[in-house]
Amino acid sequence: MEAIEPTPQEVEAVAVGLAGYYNDPYNRRMMAHGGELSVDDVVSCYGDLRAQGARPFLLRCAGADGEARGALVGDADIRHIAGGETGEFAIMIGNRDLQGRGLGMRFAVMMHAFAFRRLGLRRVHVSIIPDNASSLRLFEKLGYERDDRPEARAFADDQTDLTMSLDCDRFELAMAQELTEIQIRERPHPGPASRP
Ligand SMILES: CC(C)(COP(=O)(O)OP(=O)(O)OC[C@H]1O[C@@H](n2cnc3c(N)ncnc32)[C@H](O)[C@@H]1OP(=O)(O)O)[C@@H](O)C(=O)NCCC(=O)NCCS
């Protein structure tokens, strides 16, 4: 399993697949997305995230499609990075057939290792629609707790959204075993890129 910070060319190469994942009716509802996203919208989203200082990743899993090595299974990012201290996490295991098999949890641990250990953030926030049971469970397992302080509520897209946050020490404690299996490496080609 690998999460890579893609070059623009790598985003373009998988944009059709990503658009399919984003536009799946269930995924769209869980992520509270508005309209359908075109392939160009997807490419623009990645460009916008980068321009805002966010760190978007593609999630790839060897053998996920039965044949290919490193098939795309979803994406994740750390966004709204403020003062080098806090950020917001988002994740999607886009292939519906692969949801509920532990991939989300494993990729989320990798992304948080990057956020806390490489970016040096102290606290990460999430905002979730109340009936997103798999997200709630996943974040709870990572060590997240409900957070209704104004700085946490600022991440809610809708007033009914639940807001949670996780600090670095709590994550390190909760995921001590899982973290022993993660490697973070610089990628040898252009672009700010690391690979948990
Ligand atoms: C949310 C998401 C990333 C979780 O990833 P996943 O691979 O499906 O989840 P995992 O298999 O790692 O499961 C994590 C935990 O949630 C539980 N879970 C999974 N699906 C569940 C469901 N439908 N209802 C309740 N719990 C569920 C798992 O059992 C596991 O808990 P456990 O270890 O105690 O058994 C993924 O389902 C997804 O991308 N969904 C659509 C987009 C989305 O909701 N993104 C997040 C927006 S905040």
pLDDT tens track for 98-127: 999 999 999 999 999 999 999 999 999 999
Q: How far is the CA of 75 from the centre of ligand 1 (A)?
A: 14
Give the pLDDT confidence score for residue 70 in this predicted structure. 81
What's the 37 CA to ligand 1 centre distance in angstroms? 23
In this structure, which residue's CA is closest to atom 23 in ligand 1? 134
Looking at the CA of residue 132, tell me the nearest atom of ligand 1.
44
Single out the residue of 60, 77, 78 nearest to residue 69, CA to CA. Answer: 60
* Ligand 1 atom 18: residue of nearest CA: 134
Number of domain units in the chain: 1
CB contact at 8 A, 90 and 77: yes
Q: What is the pLDDT at residue 64?
A: 63
Is 163 near ligand 1, meaning CB less than 6 Å away?
no
Nearest CA owner, ligand 1 atom 16: 134
133 lines ligand 1 (CB under 6 A): yes
Q: What is the pTM of this model?
A: 0.94
Q: Ligand 1 center to residue 177 CA distance, Å?
A: 20
Residues 6+ apart with CB under 8 A from 158: 32, 129
Domain coverage including residue 88: 2-195
Question: What pLDDT, on a 0 to 100 scale, did the predictor assign at position 190?
Answer: 54
Please identify every stretch of the chain with a pLDDT value under 50, giving residue numbers as ranges: 192-196
Q: What is the pLDDT of residue 196?
A: 45
Which residue in 71, 138, 50 sits closest to 100, CA to CA?
Answer: 138
Cα 74 from chain centre: 9
pLDDT of residue 54: 98
* pLDDT score of 193: 43
CATH number at 102 reads 3.40.630.30
Both structure tokens of 188: 């040898």
Beta-sheet strands, E only, within 31-174: 55-61, 71-82, 86-93, 123-128, 145-146, 162-167
CA of 86 to the centre of ligand 1 (A): 24
Q: Are strands 194-195 and 86-93 parallel, antiparallel or unpaired?
A: unpaired
| pLDDT tens, position by position, 175-187 | 999 999 999 999 8
